[in-house]
Every structure is written in C-alpha cells, then in structure tokens.
Amino acid sequence: MTAQASWIPRGTDTSKANTARVYDYWLGGSHNFRADQDVARALIAIEPNIRAVARANRGFLDRAVQFLAGAGIRQFLDIGSGIPTQRNVHEVAQQAAPGSTVVYVDSDDVAVSHSKLLLDGDRDAMAVHADLRDPAKILTDPATLSLIDFSQPAGLLLASVLHFLPESDEPHRLVAELRDALAPGSYLVLSHGTREARQEEVGEAFEIVYNNRVSSQATVRPPEEILRFFDGFTLVDPGLVYTPLWRPDPGAETPADPAAFWLLAGVGVRS
C-alpha cells in the first residue's frame, strides 16, 4: 500500500467525484482524487471565482464559531463537515472557549477517516459517519451523545451542505427535525448557494456538472427558500447576507461585488 493509499478507507470508490473532496481541492488540500480534480477544474472554468467562494465560506464558518463561543456555546454539531483543513471547527472553538466539544458528521468515507486520524487522542472532538438525510442516526449516535448534551444549548453547523439536497429529500423537514432536538438558546449556522444575483446559465451549468459527475446533486435556491431553513430561529445581525458580509473581521476589505461569492450565510438563535 502506498503512503497516499494509507488514508483511503477500504472499498472507497475514487472514480466518482465527491463534494467534500472537490471542496478540499478548491481549498488547496491534498485529499482528493483525479475524478474530484477534474470536476473542480470544470467548475473553475465555469466560475473562475470559485476558489475565493470556498475560502469566503470557510472564513464565515470561522467567524460564526467564534461568535457562538462568545455567546456561551460550548458544544458544536458540524454536519457536512468535509475533509479537515486549516482552522477546523474544533480548533477555532477550543481556542475561543477551551473545553468546547465538537462532533463532525459527514457521509464521505475519506472525510470521516481523515477526521478520525486528525482527532486521535482528542477527547473533546469526534467524527461520525452519517448522512444529513438521516437526522435520527446523527442525533442518537453514541459519539454524538458522548459529546453533545441536547438539554443544553448547542451550535448546529450546516455550512455549504444543504444545496446538495434536492427537494425530493425534503431538506426543510430535515433541518426542522434537527432544530427540534436543540435546546432553547441553541444556534443554527448556515450557508447556502443561491443563483439570484448570477446569470441563470451559470447556475444551470453548475447543476449539470454536479448532477452528472458528482455523487451528490446540486440545488441552488432563492433567498426566500434559504430563509425558510431558519424557521424557529431568530436571525442575528446582519441577517442573511453573502458570506464576506457576515460580521467581517475588523479591517477586512469589503468586496466590490459581494454577490460574486454565491453563498448566502446567516446565524439564528432558537428561542
């Protein structure tokens, strides 16, 4: 077995691109395969700004986790967590609030395998192999229950994952099921692709590439449909905005065209 193959779980199909590994490629990671690279490059050809979009989404997640830690949240459930990269959620959360616990959830074998390697020896962070389409499995997994006390406020992180669920999967119902498991004072952190401010042809091209060459479908949604995911939550300022505009770091440059970043982002608190 080669050094590279040592982190590939047995039976992993590397001939089909996967959303977590495509995202890893855009972020400059090395845990991706030829199929993932081909799709990533095809999408870069459609939208040359896509690497910046991925980085901006990562930056939003970083700032949102810091915000939650400042609001007193000490436990985080990150669903669709992807392949570990720099400044992972547990690193950000534990730096801001030592002792914070984090459960990563992903359906990709490589993402979960690599997460477990990274987290080996960390008693406050675990990785779970599960699918967003099965909230009950996520909520009742022993690893989840060992680190998340659902009688206390928690942070539910759904960053750049819901647009990979078509309407047939009833994504709003799935989020509502997760919401109902959360205690009052919990937070939802969400980012989601939208095509409202971009050319219709580009959005359609993205969906065609994903739906034909990736293991997940892509379904970008208008702002009003994204807002529906926050039913039962109260959005905090600045509301639902493009990722670079959500509480940017002091001194950060405001992009000339925020809509070029595709993803709308928001944070809501459950009353």
Q: Per residue in 70-97, pLDDT tens?
A: 999 999 999 999 877 768 999 999 999 9
pLDDT of residue 198 exceeding 80, the answer is no
Segment 23-28 long-range contacts (CB within 8 Å, at least 24 positions apart):
23/54, 23/82, 23/83, 23/160, 24/82, 24/83, 24/85, 26/50, 26/51, 26/53, 26/54, 27/51, 27/54, 27/55, 27/58, 27/85
**Which residue would you say has higher pLDDT here, 197 or 181?**
181
pLDDT of residue 3 exceeding 50, the answer is no
CA atoms within 13 A on the CB side of 173: 8
Phi, psi of 134 (to 5 degrees): -130, 75
Answer yes or no: are the C-beta atoms of 263 and 191 closer than 8 Å: yes
- Of 157, 178, 169, nearest in space to 61 by CA: 157
pTM: 0.86
| Dist. CA 227–CA 233, nearest whole Å | 10
Domains of the chain: 12-248+261-270 (3.40.50.150)
| Dist. CA 127–CA 141, nearest whole Å | 11
- Of 186, 184, 270, nearest in space to 232 by CA: 270
pLDDT of residue 2 exceeding 50, the answer is no
Output the six-digit token pair for 22. Answer: 């495509």
What pLDDT, on a 0 to 100 scale, did the predictor assign at position 24? 82
- Annotate 36-50 with b (16+ C-beta within 10 A) or e (fewer): beebbebbeeebeeb
- Annotate 184-219 with b (16+ C-beta within 10 A) or e (fewer): eebbbbbbbbbbeebeeeebebbbebbeebbbbbbb
| Torsion region of 146: left, alpha or beta (phi above 0 gives left; psi -120 to 50 gives alpha) | alpha
- Average pLDDT over the chain reads 87
In tens, the pLDDT along 8-40 reads 666 666 677 777 777 788 878 777 788 888 888
- Of 132, 65, 34, nearest in space to 267 by CA: 65
Task: Count other C-beta atoms under 10 Å from residue 6's C-beta.
Answer: 8
